[in-house]
Structure 1
Amino acid sequence: MMNDMNVSLPKALEDGAAQERLETLLLEGLESGDPVLVTPDFWKQLWERVDTGKTEKHSR
């Protein structure tokens, strides 16, 4: 199931080249694999991974 999404661009992205680049990146994301259900638990696990990566990077 595909839902529509409207995105308001900041003024800096309203020029044609930036908008085209953004559209390209969004389409790449849509075609990058199976969808992921984003739940509060998903965000918790993601931030735990980010925090672990920060800790490992700073301990080197």
Structure 2
Amino acid sequence: MTEGGYSSASEYVRDLIRADQKRQSEERIDALLIEGLDSGELIEVTPEYWEAKRQKLSGRLTRKHTP
């Protein structure tokens, strides 16, 4: 097994499993992105949009951590 850079068959199998898990994760992310693109009305994403989003999330975090 040293030809492929693996010291044992189990190391090779573990690498195959990790590669498959990564592929599945990427497919899931792609599916979620497409689902998001297909949902709701289109909005224009501008610097102002991101600033408002940051402020909203910051407010949520502040409220969550304030006793």
Are positions 1:21 and 2:28 aligned together? yes
After TM superposition, the runs of 4+ consecutive aligned structure 1 residues lying more than 2 A away are: none
Which residue of structure 1 lines up, in the alignment, with residue 38 of structure 2?
A: 31
Q: CA deviation at 1:20?
A: 2.0
* Higher Cα radius of gyration: 2
- Equivalent residue letter for 2:51: K
Give the number of aligned pairs.
Answer: 48
Q: Give me the whole-angstrom Cα distance separating, in 1, the residues matched to 2:60 and 2:41.
A: 25
**TM-score of the aligned structures, taking structure 2 as reference length:** 0.60
Are positions 1:43 and 2:58 aligned together? no
Structure 1: gaps of 5 or more residues: 1-10
How well do the aligned residues superpose, as a CA RMSD in angstroms? 1.9
Structure 2: gaps of 5 or more residues: 1-18
Q: CA deviation at 1:27?
A: 1.5
**TM-score of the aligned structures, taking structure 1 as reference length:** 0.66
